[in-house]
Amino acid sequence: MRERDLYSVGEASKLCKVSKKALRFYDEIGIISPDETGKNDYRYYSKDTLMAIPVIKYYKQMGFKLGEMRDFINGGSTYAQIQHSFKSKIVELDRERLKLEEQYTSVSDWLDLVIEASVIIASQATGVSVKYFDMTEYLFFEQPYNANHKDAIINIEFTNYVDSLSNAITGPVIRQFDSFREKIRGVCSTQRILQKTVFPCAPAQTKRFGGNIMLSCYHIGTHERINETYGKMLRWSENHGYICGESAAERYVIDYWTTDDVSRHVTEIIIDISKAP
């Protein structure tokens, strides 16, 4: 009768697809205990007792720890207690979901930038072009112009501002200037930091960028020579019947956030343009 009605640890392990170690641990913490203990401390489980194993697996699927599910398994919880536990678990899982979303978005966007920079460097794609930029909402931060590119890109003040909003940044840093000509001459007074956030921002905290045709050119290497690329873009626009406006932006594809090797930095310069009459 024992062989038909009771299962050894090994038999229970095979039947329920759970390790012998797990069965012993369940006994130690009081979730599932053997129905009988024979000679040499051999343990035997009834089929009815082993039916708790699928329930344990389902609770684990929902994110409950073994200690949390003990009263559920043993029938020691009221419906009110179960509801409270489930609601608390939903709050906990929602926090984890948001954190995972933040991590996934950040890693995915950074990977896209690394791929973009790799393609640009491999092909030496530094030609000037006219392209359409989609309208995008960015978190913005106005501050005095900083000629130190590293300090401006890894921007402590902007990072603190993002933290104060309980948000997270993702994608490339964009530094916008009301007048790139003033920047070239070294008389620029202000800059605007733009960057996408993982979670939505209040409208007052965002600026729109894009939604029109602009002049674009990738600059490879140190930012100390970036004015040369601005000059190339100005000459190109004159030769192709375009007029450069004042507003411009530097979109840092790969920068100090990824490497201090400035020879591997890739920056996209974007300038407002219009067709010459």
pLDDT (tens digit per residue) in 218-232: 999 999 999 999 999
Cα maximum dimension of the chain: 100
**Rg, the chain, Cα only:** 31
Instruction: Name the DSSP letter for residue 260.
Output: S
Q: Is the pLDDT of residue 4 over 80?
A: no
Distance CA 229, CA 212 (A): 21
| Domains of the chain, start order | 2-77 (1.10.1660.10), 113-275 (3.20.80.10)
Distance CA 188, CA 144 (A): 9
pLDDT (tens digit per residue) in 52-73: 999 999 999 999 999 888 877 8
In angstroms, the Cα distances linking 41 to 2, 30, 34, 35, 211 are 16, 17, 11, 12, 75
The predicted model gives 161-189 an average pLDDT of 95
Judge contact between 171 and 194, C-beta under 8 A.
Answer: no
Q: Is the pLDDT of residue 108 over 80?
A: yes
pLDDT at 78: 84
pLDDT (tens digit per residue) in 123-149: 999 999 999 999 999 999 999 999 999
Mean pLDDT of the chain: 93
Token pair, residue 146, equals 């900083």
Judge contact between 268 and 248, C-beta under 8 A.
Answer: no
Beta carbons within 10 angstroms of residue 176's beta carbon: 21
Q: How confident is the model at residue 1 (pLDDT cuts 50, 70, 90)?
A: very low
Q: Is the pLDDT of residue 274 over 90?
A: yes
